Amino acid sequence: MRSSQIVSFLKRSASYLVVGFWSIFSVFFVLWIILASLKKTRDLFGSPWSLPDNPVFGNYVKTWISNRFGDYFLNSFIVVNVSVVSILLVSVPAAYVLSRGNFRGQRALSNFIASGMGVPFPLLFVPLFVIMATLRLIDTLTGLTIVYVALSIPFTIYVLEGFFSSLPSELESAAIMDGCTDFEVFRWVMLPLAAPGIATVAILNFIGLWNEYQLSLVLINSPEKRTLSLGIYSLITSMQYSGGDWAGLFAGVTIVMVPTIALFIALSEKMISGITMGGVK
């Protein structure tokens, strides 16, 4: 074996070791949380590393019904899905125009939109609250959805611009020569080619918004309009003063994790191909 092969082997082994260790670490804690959600609180602290003797599925029932996680799940599901669809409806055409169009101020406009990613959310709390209150959209899921869409657009356009730029321009030219209008080129040629990229931003936005906490805390007041992340937080804080149902809390955490993990399992290949595709310009 040549020395370069040995070096390459060692490098690859080191990478596998790091990734393998990280994977085991992550999977271990996800499993631990799921097992913890099936224990009694006393057993959870008394024997944290053991398997549950008699799985307590009642923790899920209690969390879903008594702690209203069923309602919170539905709220999150509606807000996040409507947001993601709206984000894509706005961002995909915008990113296409910004990456392939040729007009004055194109770069400046692109940079201006991208600069939106640099604004820390906490700086926006007060102006957002005042604007939404003025529009009578405070404490509404519609208001929260609008804010989610507005704040997610810069990131989405920025990423999609990369995808569209990586697509070969020859296909566009061929379509135009065949008589396609600009919109038809976008709709029938470029959009299908950008599908992996669109799936990637859809997943990233879904996960980001599914776990979003700060904005919903500021904009939502009524308990019946809480999203899952607010529900988890209220469950954690209610441990003080009330009977600490820690096992129920882990049941809640599991409920929050399920959709994102399911989404990863279903769409991870598309997402990886989308990321690698967008990375090559």
* Start-to-end C-alpha separation, the chain: 36
CB of 149 to another protein, least distance (A): 21
* Binding of residue 245 to another protein (CB under 8 A): yes
Closest by Cα among 186, 7, 156 to 84: 156
CB of 237 to another protein, least distance (A): 4
* Binding of residue 238 to another protein (CB under 8 A): yes
**Cβ proximity to another protein, 4 vs 242, nearer residue:** 242
Q: Which residues in 107-146 contact another protein (CB under 8 A)?
A: 129-130, 133, 138
Contacts for 103 with CB less than 8 Å, ≥ 6 apart: none
Q: What is the DSSP string of 57-83?
A: THHHHIIIIIT-HHHHHHHHHHHHHHH
* Binding of residue 42 to another protein (CB under 8 A): yes
Token representation of residue 180: 């396609």
- Amino acid residing at 153: I
* Binding of residue 41 to another protein (CB under 8 A): yes
Site string for another protein, 158-197 (x = CB under 8 A): ----------------------------------------
* Binding of residue 61 to another protein (CB under 8 A): no
Q: Which of 40, 176, 193, 208 binds another protein (CB under 8 A)?
A: 40
Q: What is the CA radius of gyration of the chain?
A: 23
* Binding of residue 223 to another protein (CB under 8 A): yes
The neighbour count for residue 99, using CB atoms within 10 Å, is 20
Distance in angstroms (rounded) separating the CA atoms of residues 243 and 191: 53
**Chain position carrying tokens 């939404």:** 132
Instruction: Please report, as ranges, the residues that interact with another protein according to CB under 8 A.
Output: 40-42, 45-46, 66-68, 129-130, 133, 138, 217-218, 221-223, 233-235, 237-247
